[in-house]
Chains A and B, each alone.
Chain A
Amino acid sequence: MEIPNVADKWSGAVNEITLGATKDKGGSRTKTITIGGAKSIPFMDFEGNPGQKPVVAMDVYDVPPEDWPETLSKPFADVLHDPAQWAKKCVEQYGADLICLKLEGIHPDKGNRTAEETATTVKSILAAVGVPLIIWGCEHDEKDNDVMPKVSQAAKGECCLLGVVTQDNYKTLTATCLADGHALITLAPVDINIAKQVNILVSEMDFPLNRIVMFQSTGALGYGLEYTYSIQERERLAALTGDKMMSMPVICDVGHEAWRTKESKSDDKEVPQWGARDERGPMWETITAVSLLQSGVDIIRMSHPKAVAAVKKCIDRLY
């Protein structure tokens, strides 16, 4: 008896974006990364082209993190004070496909670093590594609107991915990314309708849809993972069924979210029944990332080298 073919036919696809610009295109990257392009649901490539492999961006902070457990800070012990060296180590030793510079230090409550200082940090990272760069603001609207335009100019020509814009604060960063040729991250708080709305608002400023990456606030395992998962799954289905306002690649923030949890951070002495933190922490990050791979993601921001290695191995085996 012939088994009927029940493969779905998808009328849409996820956009492709190439991040990073090499010398001949006006930048100084030694490699570019293309994300997106999926024409089928993750791991069901018999229904259509699976698109580009998901990639891992490792987080680098502009100031040394204050609350990292030793398990997390140990792999970067000698470079936490120097974002450029930190980025170099992530790429050369730990296999990061991209670097995500998270601007914690510019937040008014955490250091209030200036736009000029930040531009210098950005330039130092661009000089230290050849991979494409993501630059993520502190999500304090006023401060981001002050700093991100200078950051954008400092990185002009490098085709970076800059974030984030929201429904209530999108004009400044959209205009600056449009002018300086960067891609843009639109944020929604685990709400697919708001995600669509932000994309519409950005496109009404004539920002091209195919330079947008979507972000839904990531919940770590045990802290809202299912919500992020189902929203991202719906986003992927919207793209595949032809909604042009939802056909963007997706980024998620696994490293930072996973390492905020007590399951990752707690000292072995406090929770002996949970197993060694050196295993437990990276495992929590790995499981969060690998689960979200199923929903349809294109860039995963990660922190611990062990988790990065495990997730990259998983991606290589599945794609």
Chain B
Amino acid sequence: MISIGERINGMFKDVREAIKNKDPKAVRELAIKQTEAGASFLDVNVGTAAADPAEAMKWLVEVVQDTVKTPIAIDSQKFDVVKAGLSVAKNEILINSSKGDPEELDKFMTLAKEYNASLICLTMDKTGIPQDVARRMEFAMKIVEKAVEHEFELSKVYIDPVLFPINVDQKQPALMFDIFNQIKMISDPPPHRNVGLSNFSQGTKEKRLLARVFLTMGISYGLDAAVMDVLDKDLMDAAITAEIIMNQHLYSDSYLTACRK
């Protein structure tokens, strides 16, 4: 599972204050803790309150890569903010994210290629988020076509079918599983299948349980990446266990340890 640790986000008070006061301590600790928990990427998001989002992104990227060598997910849909983060990046980068409009994909794929970065592409455009399988798959196909057109390696493409909260539309999870499965079959190699996991249990009481069960069910259908709370040990354990059950790693009694090494 490609786990993208979500905690370095200006929505959280400690990160917001750190950005405001240019005090790296909280960000450093989160970078270390999430890395130790096994994060494949560290998502960095300046939040909505930053006075100068581009400068704030540069600062976040620099603080994280001064602390750990973990790959970084630059989390912004604003092109100039993403570019700012890339301009100072030393660690491996994943751009989170581009919408599915052709002109957005053109811009972001060109940028990603220039910096040898990977790219999350959402199956939506400026007209909104589709609710059905067919339209999301249409976007997925268009994203793959764009990647081929740009000679952008499909193994660097992450398709995100935009996960709704469970309490918004309970029909959606089953559709998402179908989509993960279909995206796996689009090409060889297929693009990655990603979700923003915390969206799913937003505004619910059993947040951790919902996230955990969705993740394991998703993995069985082909989900292989998620922006998630890597500090939730039960969540990480569940993801590893689901992958063992899907024969993605060789079982051993200490598989939870082995898969984190």
Contact = CB atoms under 8 A, between A and B. Distances in A.
Interface of A: 192-194, 196-197, 200-201, 203-204, 238, 243-246
Q: Which of A192, A200, A204 has the most CB of B within 10 A?
A: A200
B251 interface: yes
Nearest to A197: B252
B250 A200 contact: no
B257 interface: yes
19 contacts: A192-B250, A193-B250, A193-B251, A193-B252, A193-B253, A194-B252, A196-B251, A196-B252, A196-B258, A197-B252, A197-B253, A200-B252, A200-B254, A201-B254, A203-B261, A204-B257, A238-B250, A245-B250, A245-B261
A94 to B, nearest CB: 38
Contacts of A204: 254, 257
A74 B147 CA distance: 70
A197 B252 CA distance: 5
Nearest to A203: B261
A186 to B, nearest CB: 12
Nearest to B254: A200
A243 B250 contact: yes
A204 B260 CA distance: 13
Contacts of A194: 252
Given A196-B258, A200-B257, A243 B249 contact: yes
Contacts of B249: 243
A244 B260 CA distance: 11
Nearest to A234: B250
Nearest to B253: A197
A208 to B, nearest CB: 13
A238 B254 CA distance: 17
Contacts of A200: 252, 254, 257-258
Nearest to A200: B254
The interface centre, meaning the residue of A197, A244, A245 with most chain B CB atoms within 10 A of its CB, is A245
Interface in B215-261: 249-254, 257-258, 261
A238 B261 CA distance: 15
Contacts of A196: 250-252, 258
A194 B261 CA distance: 18
Contacts of B251: 193, 196
Contacts of B254: 197, 200-201, 204
A196 B244 CA distance: 14
Contacts of B257: 200, 204
A213 B62 CA distance: 42
7 nearest interchain CB pairs? A196-B252, A197-B252, A200-B254, A197-B253, A193-B251, A245-B258, A200-B258
B250 A246 contact: yes
A51 B252 CA distance: 27
B231 to A, nearest CB: 23
B85 to A, nearest CB: 28
B226 to A, nearest CB: 21
B129 to A, nearest CB: 35
A228 to B, nearest CB: 18
Nearest to B257: A200
A238 B249 CA distance: 9
Given A200-B258, A203-B261, A246-B250, 10 more contacts: A192-B250, A193-B252, A194-B252, A196-B251, A197-B252, A197-B254, A200-B252, A204-B257, A243-B249, A245-B250
A193 B251 CA distance: 6
Interface string B115-126: 000000000000
A196 B254 CA distance: 9
A22 B226 CA distance: 51
Nearest to B261: A244
A201 B258 CA distance: 10
A15 to B, nearest CB: 15
Of A196, A204, A244, the most chain B CB neighbours within 10 A belong to A196
Contacts of B261: 203, 244-245
A210 B216 CA distance: 33
Contacts of A193: 250-253
A243 B252 CA distance: 12
A238 B247 CA distance: 12
Nearest to A195: B252
Contacts of B258: 196, 200, 245
A77 B202 CA distance: 80
